[in-house]
Amino acid sequence: MDPEQVDEFVMGYLKKKGFNSAAKHLQESLHNNNGSSFSSIDYPNDPELTKLIRSFSQSENDPSRYREGYSKLRSWGYNSLDLYKHELLRVMYPVFIHCYMDLVGKGHTQEARSFFNSFRKDHEMVHLRDLQKLGGVLAPSHLQEMEFARSLRQSKINIKICQYSYDLLIQYLHRTESTLMLGIINEHINFQVYSGQPNSASDDIEAVTIVGSFHEIADHVNQKEIHWGLLEDSLEDRLEKTGGLLSDSEKGQGESKAGDDSKKRSAEIGKQGSSTKKLKKDKAGAATTKVARQETSTVLSSMPRVKPELAMPVMSTDVEESILEDLRNRVQLSSVAMPSVSFYTFVNTHNGLNSSSISHDGSLVAGGFSDSSIKVWDMARIGQAGSCALQDENNQTVGVNGRRNYTLLVGHSGPVYSATFSPPGDYVLSSSADTTIRLWSTKLNANLVCYKGHNHTVWDAQFSPFGHYFASCSHDRTARIWSMDRMQPLRMMAGHLSDVDCVQWHPNCNYIATGSSDKTVRLWDVQTGECVRIFIGHRSMVLSLAMSPDGRYMASGDEDGTIMMWDLSTARCITPLMGHNSCVWTLSYSGEGSLLASGSADCTVKLWDVSSSTKLTKAEEKNGNSNRLRSIRTFPTKSTPVHALRFSRRNLLFAAGAVSKHSS
C-alpha cells in the first residue's frame, strides 16, 4: 500500500465520520508538505497497520459484511464446547436484531429482509413476539416511528457471562478481525462478568436483561415508599383476638378423631399394629397442622397495619358472620397438607369460552363467551339435575322441571373476555370487546349498569376484596378504577407501552397491579393514580396476577409458562417458578399464603410451596441459590386447559376450564 492510498483512505474515513475539521487540517498538511505526511512509515513491513487501514477503507455501505460477520459468529458459537455454548449464544440475539436494524437504517431493505428470514428461526422459540414486531420495521423512518424499535436502539442489553466465556468471545473477535461484530457488541451490550465456571442454568431469568432510559425510570419509581400491610381492624384481626381461628374447628376435629379412634380400637383388635401406625400418623398430621396454625397466627400479628385510602363499603352483618365462620373453619395447608380440588368442566363450548370465574364459596360459576353472552351456573341446581359438567345452550343440561340449569345474561355486543363475581356473589362484572363493562345482579338475573370509558377492548375487570370498587384494563394501554355507583372512572392509570392484559387488587385495597403485553407488571396507588412499582423480568406478555394474603408478595404468570414471585417492597424477583410449558392463565394463593396454585393452557393445575421461596437470605440470593422451586403437586386434566382458579376462604381449591376439541 503506497502513501497516496493511505492519504486517500484516511481522508475518506474522516469525512464519512463527520470529522470535517480534522480532514481540513490533514488536507492543508498534505498541501504544505507537497505530498504524503505518512511517507516516513514503512507500510510493507507493518502488515497489521495495513490491515487496519484497509478495514477502515472498506465501504460501510456494503451490506454483505453483516451477513458474513454474523454467520461466522453464529457458526463459532454453535460449535463451541457445550460447557460454554449456552452463555456464548446469549450474544446472538442482540447482535442479530442490531445487524437487521443497521441494514434497514442504511436503506438496504432487500438485504435486511433476506438476513432476517435466514436467521430468525434461531430465536423464534424465545423471542417470537419481538420478532413479529421487528418484522414490521421495513424503512429507516420506522426506526424512529415505532416505539419498540426506538427503545431497542436506545437501550443496552446486559448479558451475564463467566470470565472464561468472555475471554473466548473477545479472542475470537480479535483473531478473526470481526470489527463490525465487535462494534455492534461494544455499542449495544454490557457484559456482567463473574468468576468461576459457567452457570449450569442456561435459562437463568436474569442472564439477559435490557437496560436503558426505561430501566433508569423504573429504578427511580421503585424507590417510592409503599405500605403493603393489611388494613387496620380487619376480620382476620378480630378473629385472632377472639381466638376463634384456633379453637372451634380444632375442638370439633379433636372430638371426632377421639371418637373414631376409640371405635377403631374396639372393632379392630387384631389389627393393632396398623392402627398404631395410623394413630401416630394422625397425631403427626395434627401436630403439623397445629404448628402451621401457630405460625400463621404469628405472621398475621407481625404484619404492619395501614389505613384505607378509599372509603370502604359497610359490610352487612350476615356477610361478616359468614366470612368469620369460614375463617374459623379454614383448613391450614402446607407442603404436607394438600388441598382438596373441585374442577368444573365446560363441555360443548365449541371453542367459544373466553373466560370463566368461580364465586368465593364455589356455589356459582360464570363463563364469558365469544357470542357476547354470559352464562351463570348454580351448583345446587346442577346437583339436583345429577350433572357433573357445565354445558352450553347448544347441548344444554336440562333440569327436572325441563328448564336449563344456567342463567343466560345478554347485553354485550362483542366477545366477553372476563366475568367475575363480587365477594358476596350477588353481582357479576363483565368486560367485552365492545369497550364496555357491565354489572349484573345474580338475584335479579338482569343488567344493572353499563360503564363506558375505555377506548378499546376491555380485557379484564376485577372487584376489590371488599366489593363496591372495581378495576379494569384494556387494549388502550390503560387501567381504570371505578365504583359501582358512578358511571365514570374515578382514576385512570397510564404508563404501559402495550395492552394491559390483567389486573389484580392488593389485599388492603390501596393498590392495584397490572400485567401487560410489554412484559412488565406495574403497581399503582389507587388514591393518586401514580405508578409506584415497575417489575421487569418476564420474557413474554403477562397474563395472570395474584397477591399473597399478607400483601407482601405478588405472583405473575406469562405466556411462556413462567411464574415469577415478587417482593413488593423491593420490586425484586424472589424466584421464578418453572414447570408449565404453556400460558399461565390463572393464579391463586391459599388463605394463609403458604401455597400458590397455577392453572395453564398445558391442561394442568400445579401447587407450589411458596413459603420456602420467601425465606431466602440475602447471601443465598447473591450466590444464586434461589433454586427454582419444583411444583409439589401436579393435577393433570385429560384435555382441559385451566381458565380459572380460586381458593375458597376455607381453603378448598376450585378450578374451571373447557374441554378442548382434541378431547377424545
Asked whether residue 224 is assigned to any structural domain, the reply reads: no
Asked whether residue 269 is assigned to any structural domain, the reply reads: no
Which helix (H) or strand (E) segment holds residue 481: the answer is: strand 478-483
555: domain CATH number is 2.130.10.10
Are the CB atoms for 575 and 633 separated by under 8 Å? Answer: no
Strand order in the sheet with 427-432: 416-421, 427-432, 436-441, 446-452
Using the 3D structure, point to which of 197, 230, 245 is the last residue of a domain.
197
Asked whether residue 22 is assigned to any structural domain, the reply reads: no
Asked whether residue 77 is assigned to any structural domain, the reply reads: yes
Which value, to the nearest 10 degrees, does the dihedral of the CA atoms of residues 61, 63, 68, 71 take?
130
Look at 324 and 442; give whichever has higher pLDDT: 442
Instruction: Return the number of other C-beta atoms located less than 10 Å from residue 199's C-beta.
Output: 16
Which helix (H) or strand (E) segment holds residue 317: the answer is: helix 317-328
Average pLDDT value for residue range 179-200: 85
Q: Cell triple for residue 288?
A: 403439623
Instruction: Return the number of other C-beta atoms located less than 10 Å from residue 211's C-beta.
Output: 15
Structure confidence at residue 421 as a pLDDT band (50, 70, 90)? very high
168: domain CATH number is 1.25.40.500
Q: Tell which residue, 137, 102, 134, 138, has the closest CA to residue 120.
A: 134
Asked whether residue 396 is assigned to any structural domain, the reply reads: no
Asked whether residue 314 is assigned to any structural domain, the reply reads: no
Are the CB atoms for 376 and 405 separated by under 8 Å? Answer: no
Average model confidence (pLDDT) across the chain: 79
Expressed as residue numbers, the domain containing 532 is 342-382+404-617+626-658
What is the rounded distance in angstroms from the CA atom of residue 566 to the CA atom of residue 551? 11
H helices of 107-234, in order, are 109-119, 124-134, 142-145, 147-154, 163-175, 179-188, 213-221
The 10s digit of each residue's pLDDT in 250-293 is: 434 444 444 444 444 444 434 444 444 444 444 444 444 454 45
Which value, to the nearest 10 degrees, does the dihedral of the CA atoms of residues 92, 96, 97, 102 take?
140
Whether the pLDDT of residue 642 is over 50: the answer is yes
The 10s digit of each residue's pLDDT in 78-117 is: 999 888 888 888 899 999 999 999 999 888 889 999 999 9
Using the 3D structure, point to which of 129, 164, 197 is the last residue of a domain.
197
Using the 3D structure, point to which of 145, 166, 197 is the last residue of a domain.
197
What is the rounded distance in angstroms from the CA atom of residue 326 to the CA atom of residue 76? 62
Instruction: Return the number of other C-beta atoms located less than 10 Å from residue 331's C-beta.
Output: 18
Structure confidence at residue 575 as a pLDDT band (50, 70, 90)? confident
Q: Cell triple for residue 334?
A: 402446607
Asked whether residue 464 is assigned to any structural domain, the reply reads: yes
Asked whether residue 49 is assigned to any structural domain, the reply reads: no
DSSP 43: G
Domain tally, the chain: 2
